[in-house]
Structures are given as structure tokens and as C-alpha cells.
């Protein structure tokens, strides 16, 4: 199979984890007889430095022509004080919008080998398998006005949480559909006791529910959801929620798996075809350039890409198995190693996963 992948390494640890992910994809290609073409694009801080914009037009064009997009992370202290249009994050938000990637899927699973890696008690984590469906092109991130202005008392500042009913319905429907393919439970997370947008969100979920009689719908206020996620994460199957709520809850949920360095994500477009795959974590400036980053979130994002956008489920399974086996062997980057344990570098754990993939596929 011949596929074109747009590769946007970004900033900080982005190029390190994406570099390892491509080396892994090369092994997938070699073992299964595929050809993956990588077309590199700029986004984020280095694009600001080199092109004067966080999202060059060529990058959007490149992604549009690809079968899938693989992204590292954007951002860093160097660009934190810039005006909005010169912020790395604006590039990522712009790309999501330009590609109409309205749904961001963030699965959270426990690797048995990492039972003790989380800061939560192992018995709370046993068997957790949940999926956060985050609305990605609306909500508080995109509403206007969003500005500073001068009012009667001086500086005023406004952000806007805006949704059309159609946007809410679209993401809720996806939540119902995905719950249907899993354990049949959908938790709609909102703040309907305060926000008008959440009241419409809840009403829309209720209106759709009769169309999905095989799905059990529950509503949860977002503050309670944050608490329930660490109290008893096993109660959840699919959670569907607004953009900012989903951003916050997914970083929280990362600690169920043991590290933010393990959580993958895939963002789907309106036609359900083009997908953008990226780890949930950011550019981690504190460890960038030191061979310390955990590349597994990016590997697992690659597995999502293989399965969802490239139609290669067997290859996706093989990548996930290789990651699980390497963890079983006790191989850990610093974010997961217990005190006194050996710490593997980004490149060294990368080599282990590639060897495991080769061995696993050759020996069935």
C-alpha cells in the first residue's frame, strides 16, 4: 500500500518523538510491504521564526493532499509573550479549523505492566478503558468576540463560548455512535447548572437519545466528572464534551494510564476521512533536546492513524502489541520509571520497540 503522510514535527520534544515515530513506521512499511511517503510541513514556533506565521498556507495545502497528518507538539517559552496571531498554539488551532477536525478522540487504557506506575492506587485502575470525545472546532476556544478592550472602568477582556445546535448535535452523534461500538455507555459532560450552552448541549443529548436505544446516556457536570475520573474511572465508557472541558479532563485522565507521555489522540474531519494524529502532551520545554521524552504516546497515535485513516488494522495491532511487550520487559522512560529503576532514553526505547515489532511480526 502506498500512502502520503503529512509530518508536522513542531517544537520542543515534537521533533524527537515524531522522529522516533517515523523510524517505527519505516519498520511497519518494511515488514508489511508498504510505502509511506513523508511530506514535512512547518507549524508552531519554528514556523513563526522561519516564515513569520504559525501556520503557513503550504502546510494546510500539504495536509489537505495527504492520507493522514502526524503532528508532534507546538509551543514553548520563547513565543509565550507574543501577540495572539504570533503564538504557536494559534497555528495548531488554525489547522484543526482549516481541516474541519471537529472531533478529537482520546482513548485511555491501562497497560497491565504499568499497574503501579500511576499515582492512583492500582485497584482503582484495574480494567479502565475509556474514550474522551472532545469537540475540537468550537466552544470556548473559537467563539468571538475574544479580545481586550477599553471599557468605562479601564481594561476589559472577553472570551466567548459559542456553539450552533448543529455543532453540538454532530459531536454528540459521534459520541453515541462510538459508544455503540464499545460498551454502550455515553457520559455527556457539561456545566448545565450554569451555562446556557450546556443547557442546549444537554437538551440535544436528550433529543438524540431515543435514536440510540442501545446506548445508555448519563449526564455529568464537569466538576463532578473531574472528581469521578480519579475516584472511579472504571465507571466510564465514552465521555463527550466541550472543547476546553475535554482538554482539561484528558490531561487529568492521562494520569490514570501513568503518564501524559502515553496518551494518543486522533482528530477526525467532517467527512470522517482525513485524520490528524498527535500525542495529547505538549512540547515539554523542560525536557526538550535531552533524549528524555517518552515517544509512546506518538507511537500509539501512529497506531490510531494506521487503523483509522490508512485502513491497516493488523499493522496498528502490531504496533500496540510491541509497545505493550516493551513495557512488560520493564523498559521505561523517566516519566514512568520508579525510583532506582533504569531510565531509557527516547532513542533507546525507540530501538526496543522497533526490535520488538520486528520480532513480534516475524514470529507471529
Residues with a known catalytic role = 141, 191, 223, 247, 251
**Among residues 299, 211, 283, 270, which one has the least CA distance to residue 25?**
299
Contact 321, 306 (CB under 8 A): no
Contact 144, 183 (CB under 8 A): no
Residues linked to residue 40 through DSSP beta bridges, in sequence order: 7
Name the residue nearer to ligand NAD (CB basis): 51 or 169. 51
Name the residue nearer to ligand NAD (CB basis): 236 or 344. 344
CB of 296 to ligand NAD, least distance (A): 8
Report how far apart, in Å, the C-alpha atoms of 220 and of each of 5, 142, 225, 254 are. 38, 23, 6, 20
Binding site for NAD(+): residue ranges?
76-89, 282-294
Q: Return the residue of 9, 15, 76, 246 that touches ligand NAD, per CB under 6 A.
A: 76
Binding site for Mg(2+): residue ranges?
223, 247, 251
Distance separating alpha carbons of residues 237 and 239, to the nearest angstrom: 7
What does 293 bind: ligand IPM, Mn ion, ligand NAD, none (CB cut-off 5 to 8 Å by kind)? ligand NAD
CB of 67 to ligand IPM, least distance (A): 22
DSSP characters over 49-87: HHHSSSS-HHHHHHHHTSSEEEEEE---GGGTTS-GGG-
Question: What residue has cell string 512499511?
Answer: 29
What does 275 bind: Mn ion, ligand NAD, ligand IPM, none (CB cut-off 5 to 8 Å by kind)? none
Does 16 bind Mn ion (CB under 5 A)? Our answer is no
Distance separating alpha carbons of residues 92 and 44, to the nearest angstrom: 7
Does 92 bind ligand NAD (CB under 6 A)? Our answer is yes
CB of 1 to ligand IPM, least distance (A): 29
Binding site for substrate: residue ranges?
96, 106, 134, 223
> Per CB under 6 A, which region of 70-78, 155-163, 305-313, 319-327 contacts ligand NAD?
70-78
- The pattern of x and - marking residues 291 through 320 that bind ligand NAD according to CB under 6 A reads --xx--x-----------------------
Q: Return the residue of 9, 15, 41, 75 that touches ligand IPM, per CB under 6 A.
A: 75
What does 261 bind: ligand NAD, Mn ion, ligand IPM, none (CB cut-off 5 to 8 Å by kind)? ligand NAD
Pairing of strands 2-10, 68-73: parallel
Give residues 191-250 in contact with ligand NAD (rule: CB under 6 A).
Answer: none
Does 315 bind Mn ion (CB under 5 A)? Our answer is no
**Chain centroid to CA 145:** 27
DSSP characters over 202-252: HHHHHHHGGG-TTSEEEEEEHHHHHHHHHH-GGG-SEEEE-HHHHHHHHHH
State the DSSP code for 271: T
Does 335 bind ligand NAD (CB under 6 A)? Our answer is yes
**Among residues 144, 141, 214, 202, which one has the least CA distance to residue 176?**
214
Strands (E), the chain: 2-10, 35-40, 68-73, 103-109, 129-135, 139-151, 154-162, 185-190, 216-221, 238-241, 264-268, 275-279
Half-sphere exposure of 288 (CA within 13 A, CB side): 21
What does 287 bind: Mn ion, ligand NAD, ligand IPM, none (CB cut-off 5 to 8 Å by kind)? ligand NAD
Does 16 bind ligand NAD (CB under 6 A)? Our answer is no
> Per CB under 6 A, which region of 27-35, 76-84, 87-95, 110-118 contacts ligand IPM?
87-95
Give residues 223-252 in contact with ligand IPM (rule: CB under 6 A).
Answer: 247
Exposed / middle / buried, residue 43 (Cβ in 10 Å: 0-12, 13-18, 19+): buried
Q: Return the residue of 89, 177, 216, 317 that touches ligand IPM, per CB under 6 A.
A: 89
Distance separating alpha carbons of residues 23 and 71, to the nearest angstrom: 15
Does 247 bind Mn ion (CB under 5 A)? Our answer is yes
Residues that bind ligand NAD (CB under 6 A): 13, 73-76, 89, 92, 260-261, 278, 281-287, 293-294, 297, 335
Write out the residues near ligand IPM by the rule CB under 6 A: 75, 89, 92-93, 247, 280, 282
Amino acid at each position: 500500500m502506498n500512502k502520503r503522510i503529512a509530518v508536522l514535527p513542531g517544537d520542543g520534544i515534537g521533533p524527537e518523538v515524531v522522529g522516533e515515530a517515523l523510524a517505527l513506521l519505516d519498520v511497519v512499511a518494511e515488514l508489511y510491504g508498504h510505502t509511506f511517503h513523508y511530506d514535512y510541513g512547518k507549524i508552531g514556533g519554528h514556523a513563526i521564526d522561519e516564515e513569520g506565521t504559525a501556520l503557513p498556507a503550504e502546510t494546510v495545502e500539504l495536509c489537505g493532499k495527504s492520507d493522514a497528518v502526524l503532528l508532534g507538539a507546538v509551543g514553548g517559552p520563547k513565543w509565550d509573550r507574543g501577540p495572539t496571531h504570533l503564538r504557536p498554539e494559534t497555528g495548531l488551532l488554525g489547522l484543526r479549523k482549516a481541516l474541519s477536525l471537529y472531533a478529537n478522540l482520546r482513548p485511555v487504557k491501562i497497560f497491565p505492566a504499568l499497574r503501579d506506575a500511576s499515582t492512583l492506587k492500582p485497584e482503582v485502575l484495574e480494567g479502565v478503558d475509556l474514550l474522551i470525545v472532545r469537540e475540537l472546532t468550537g466552544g470556548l476556544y473559537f467563539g468571538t468576540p475574544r479580545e481586550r478592550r477599553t471599557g468605562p472602568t479601564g481594561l476589559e477582556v472577553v472570551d466567548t463560548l459559542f456553539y450552533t445546535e448543529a455543532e453540538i448535535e454532530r459531536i454528540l452523534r459521534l459520541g453515541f455512535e462510538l459508544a455503540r461500538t464499545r460498551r454502550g455507555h455515553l457520559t455527556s459532560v457539561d456545566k448545565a447548572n450554569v451555562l446556557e450552552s450546556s443547557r442546549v448541549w444537554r437538551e440535544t443529548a436528550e433529543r438524540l437519545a431515543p435514536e440510540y436505544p442501545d446506548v445508555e446516556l448519563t449526564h455529568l457536570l464537569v466538576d463532578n466528572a473531574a472528581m469521578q475520573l480519579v475516584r472511579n474511572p472504571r465507571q466510564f465508557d465514552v465521555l463527550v464534551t466541550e472543547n476546553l472541558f475535554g482538554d482539561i479532563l484528558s490531561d487529568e485522565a492521562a494520569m490514570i494510564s501513568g503518564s501524559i507521555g502515553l496518551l494518543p489522540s486522533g482528530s477526525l474531519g467532517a467527512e470522517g476521512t482525513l485524520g490528524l494524529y498527535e500525542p495529547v502532551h505538549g512540547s515539554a520545554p523542560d525536557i526538550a533536546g535531552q533524549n528524555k521524552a517518552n515517544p509512546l504516546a506518538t507511537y500509539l497515535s501512529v497506531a490510531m492513524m494506521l487503523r483509522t485513516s490508512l485502513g491497516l488494522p493488523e499493522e496498528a495491532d502490531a504496533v500496540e502489541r510491541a509497545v505493550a511487550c516493551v513495557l512488560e520487559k520493564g523498559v521505561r522512560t523517566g516519566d514512568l520509571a520508579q525510583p532506582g529503576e533504569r531510565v531509557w532514553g527516547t532513542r533507546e526505547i525507540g530501538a526496543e520497540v522497533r526490535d520488538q515489532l520486528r520480532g513480534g511480526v516475524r514470529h507471529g
